[in-house]
Structure 1
Amino acid sequence: MTRRSALVAAVIALAGTASAQPSHAQAPGADTQGASTQGANTQGVWRSRGYGYIVRIDAAGPKLFHAVDGACYADPRPQADPDGILAVRRAVGPGAIAFSSGPADTAYLFDRLPALPKACLAKTDWTPRRVAAVTAETFAAFYPSSREHHIDWPARARIADKAAGKATSDAALFDVLDGLMAGLNDPHVGLQATLGGDEREFESGQAATLIRVRSESKEADPAASEKAWLQAYKRGVMDGVLRGRGHQTANNRVIWGRVGEIGYLNVATMGGFDKDAAPGDPAALDKALDEALTAFEGAKAVIVDVSNNRGGYDDISLRIAGRFADRSRLAWTKVAVGARGVVPQAFHVEPTRGRRYLGPVYLVTSDVTVSAGETFTLAMRALPNVVQVGERTRGALSDKLNKPLPNGWMLTLPGEIYRDPRGTRFEAVGIAPDVPRAVFAGDLAEGHARMIHALMDQIEQGGAPSPVTRS
């Protein structure tokens, strides 16, 4: 299944975790009915197109390596398949295999190699300079937004190399890598390390709204300030928008209600809907949506609000969007950076079993809307009955690519390019609304509820924008 683990971890303290059911996807260049390949057919050495993986499979199972620009090293994690990408294997052509987490999930195309490259077997002394070099090379090879962020990786690599040559401690090396990634402003870029028993982390890419929340808060702890704001946000929805008659369900991830002739659905994360079930169990979500859409029957319009959605899993995004779909429609395509000769993988919105609403839908987004919240936005924009209202989304659609460094630190970065059905990409720039409208204007605690009230009034009075044809 498509993973967005770091975003999910961040959401645990604020709103919840996430997972999903398989999405409707086709492997690059693969027949979705292709035979599963097992045993001797998969044994050998395989290199991925994009992503920087090499995997050796023998009788003992798979062994994962990371390769970039001539460097190669074994994944330092103890698991054979630490990111769960090798669970399903199917042939896609002579000497090629698609690996994936599930039969309809993100496909990783691998080509057979005659042998494991010598660099993968070499006993390399991973000095600070070499760790800095492989980090810079990883970004240069796989980061999708270097042009948008005006990043010159060779120049940064030279600066990092000089600084790493003077690094005499892990803390000093961390500072070097921190400088290498400075200014990326990308929520899918991260570095985690344990230094002297203490956890240290590099994070970037906070939405302007969340920066404002922290700056205006009286709380010293950023997490506490954001939690207090989220509580005020939910009160504004429950008491203000829904006038005390709303329903908060699915592990507090879903709020819904009906005000007169308008249905309202707010989704906080794309997963984690039942704390007593597996993260990917959709039963609680399905139940909540059945209840909500039953109540919305005959409504003049429905507002779907993901203005505070922190992401999760693309599979859940497609599952929810299917509740508003009349037929199968292309939602987006994706391809790994540097994956030569790979047909982009297509993901479709399919009409979901259960209650659906096919009338006018107004999708509310903001700069907080991120990751799987953004792929949900793409899925909804593929539907002719949906109008996107609010603010541009964050601009971080790609799955996070986990790249543990040779010294055991965990580097994460985006490694894919998503495009909508018209071929437009939104990484680093976000998805602009059809109807721009400030979502958190003025008072942070009440601005959102005021915006939703205004949209409801406009719909009731017949002045709301009609569904659009996007070119």
Structure 2
Amino acid sequence: MATSSRIRHPSSALSFGRLQGVWRSRGYGKILLIEGDEFVVFEETAISCLKRYAGSLDELGQWYENLVVSPGEQAFGVRRATGVTRIGFRRLKALPATVTDTQGRDRDDPVYNFEVFWHTFAEHYALFALKGVDWFQMYQRFRPRITADSDPEVLYATLAAMLRPLRDGHVRLHTPWGHYNAGALPALYKRLGKELEEAGEHRETTSYLGELRDWLREVIHQDYLGGEVRQGGNHLVEWGRLNGTIGYLNIRAMSGQSGKLGHPAHDLAATHAVMERALAELGNLPNLVVDIRGNGGGYDGVALCFASYLMGRKRLAFTKSARCGKGFTGQQAIYVCPVAGDTYGGNLFVLTSELTASAAEIFVLALLQHPRLTLIGDPTLGILSDTLERHLPNGWHLTLSNEVYRAFDGETYEDIGIPPHIRLSFLGRRGREMGWDPMLDRVLRLAGEGSR
């Protein structure tokens, strides 16, 4: 099948053109203005409504897909092109008064930026209860530090200090004065840092981890796959055979397969193409290893696309709901549906680590109802929510977790990660000293093929 036939078609400008007027999203804090053949998107809080994006309706149709309009045209729903989320909009009579108020403000006012920042999290962050953070207390503690004369560096340091207790890898703040990620380092980093300390080596843990990952990849390529490694999807997908009955598939990311940054439709097309190639070679084997130990995420839609080649029938992958006012939107059910044609029908062994994050965890959620699934490794990182992108009046950019994901059985794995069936440490010292991969060796034993 030609790659281009797999690209999803966006909603048309003509479809959006019938929706003239002002619309407010349910959750997600967006105001959408459609006038003529153009649109404007505002980011809304209770005290602000900041104009962020404008363009043609053709561009809007690239952002949103699968437009469904209510009979009275007082509401509509769309799916974001970068994921699987459906967002509902309802009609307003006019733009909120906060639009004019925001336009009249000094956008560099430190106090105003602090207030918009605080309201953004107060109204949209979904995990305060899970994190044990009282955001109102944070306001009382940090608000007195900011005055009209505060330097940008002081504002940045204050906002970063407020984010630190969230310990959330999807919470980030980007400014000219620094970039802050609120995520806590996985235990793997602490373990490797201790190794460096014991060896008296003064070097970055990140570079050490990178060297170890390169070493393991070489071991897998040469010692387990015998140098017979296929690649596709912009070198982000690798596959081969461990032996005559076990296939190996390494998915290194859930975006970028097309080589075009920020083009999810093309990534999906490339994912279909590479999975068709890989399963043409591995699909008849009774066992398949899927290695996502180094997969840090990407697009949920790409993750579900990979999973659709590994499931024999339609199953509930997960549900998700977003912060909305003082509560949440209704739970949206997301299913993994097998592709037309053959899907893999054998035993599935999925390897995970603490580096398995975000959309890679969505891939695992999508496979939890697989009847022959065995998860091996460490619990995943535990950052499943999509990131909601927001901006402050001064132009600073931030992201936050505004959704709650639940597995098919209602379990939530935010913060704790998805646990494996068989616990083995990623890049454990013993395996490195012996020069092997304990997880692949365990698969060999489970499949009755011995081990190294």
Q: Does 1:335 align with 2:321?
A: yes
Higher mean C-alpha deviation, range 303-312 or range 221-230: 221-230
Inter-CA distance 286–49: structure 2 relative to 1 (3 Å threshold): closer
Deviates more, 1:82-91 or 1:309-318: 82-91
Give me the CA root mean square deviation.
3.3
Q: Distance in 1 between matches of 2:100 and 2:64?
A: 21
What is the match of residue 118 of structure 1? 97
- Contact 2:296–2:355 (CA<8 Å) still a contact in 1? yes
Equivalent residue, structure 1, for 2:3: none
2:46 aligned with 1:64: no
Distance 2:288 2:41 in 1: 47
- Select the residue among 255, 261, 266 that pairs with 1:271: 255
Q: Map of 1:218-229 to 2, 5 A cutoff?
A: 220=203, 224-229=207-212
Q: Deviations over 1:22-60 (max 9, x none)?
A: 69xxxxxxxxx9xx8433x41222111111111222226
1:183–1:83 Cα change, 3 Å = farther
Contact 1:317 1:376 (8 Å CA) reproduced:
yes
Superimposed CA distance per residue, residues 307-339 of structure 1 (whole angstroms, 9 cap, x where no aligned partner): 111111111111111112111111112221227
CA distance in structure 2 between the aligned counterparts of 1:424 and 1:395, rounded to whole angstroms: 12
Q: Paired residue for 1:99?
A: 78
* Post-superposition CA distance 1:379-422 (Å, at most 9, x none): 11122221222221111111110001111000101111111221
Q: 1:51, 1:58 → 2: CA distance?
A: 22
Could you tell me which amino acid in structure 2 is paired with residue 327 of structure 1?
R
Q: Matched residue of 1:112: which SS? A: strand
- Structure-to-structure mapping, 1:71-110, within 5 angstroms: 71-76=47-52, 85-86=63-64, 89-92=67-70, 94=72, 95-102=74-81, 105-110=84-89
- 1:118-267 alignment runs, 5 A limit: 118-122=97-101, 123-126=104-107, 127-165=109-147, 168-195=150-177, 200-205=178-183, 206-210=185-189, 212-213=191-192, 220=203, 224-260=207-243, 261-267=245-251
Cα distance in 1 for partners of 2:161, 2:35 equals 40
Q: Tell me the SS of whatever aligns to 2:128.
A: coil
CA distance in 1 between partners of 2:423 and 2:175 (Å): 40
Q: Deviations 1:228-256 (Å, cap 9, x if unpaired)? A: 33322311321233233333443221221
Pair 1:163–1:143, CA change in 2 (3 A):
same
Partner Cα separation in structure 1 for residue 328 and residue 170 of structure 2: 26
Quote how far apart the aligned CAs of 1:61 are.
Answer: 2.0
Q: Are 2:438 and 1:455 equivalent residues in the alignment?
A: no
* Structure with the higher helix share, 1 or 2: 2
Q: Return the alpha-carbon distance in structure 1 between the equivalents of residues 147 and 223 of structure 2.
A: 58
Matching residue of 1:309: 295
- The match for 1:292 among 278, 303, 310 is 278
Aligned 8 A contact 1:76 1:408 in 2: no
Query: Measured at CA, do residues 377 and 245 of structure 1 come closer, stay the same or move farther in structure 2, by a change above 3 Å?
Result: same
Tell me the TM-score normalised to structure 2 length: 0.84
CA distance in 2, matches of 1:282, 1:56: 30
Question: Percent identity between the aligned chains?
Answer: 28
1:219–1:116: structure 2 CA closer, same or farther, 3 Å change rule? farther
Distance 2:212 2:190 in 1: 12
Unmatched runs of 5 consecutive residues or more in structure 1: 1-19, 24-32, 465-471
Q: TM-score, normalised by structure 1?
A: 0.81
- Correspondence for 1:412: 399
Residue correspondences, number: 429
The answer (yes or no) to whether the contact 1:133–1:157 under 8 Å persists in 2 is no
Q: Matched residue of 1:75: which SS?
A: strand
Gapped regions of structure 2 (runs ≥ 5): 1-5
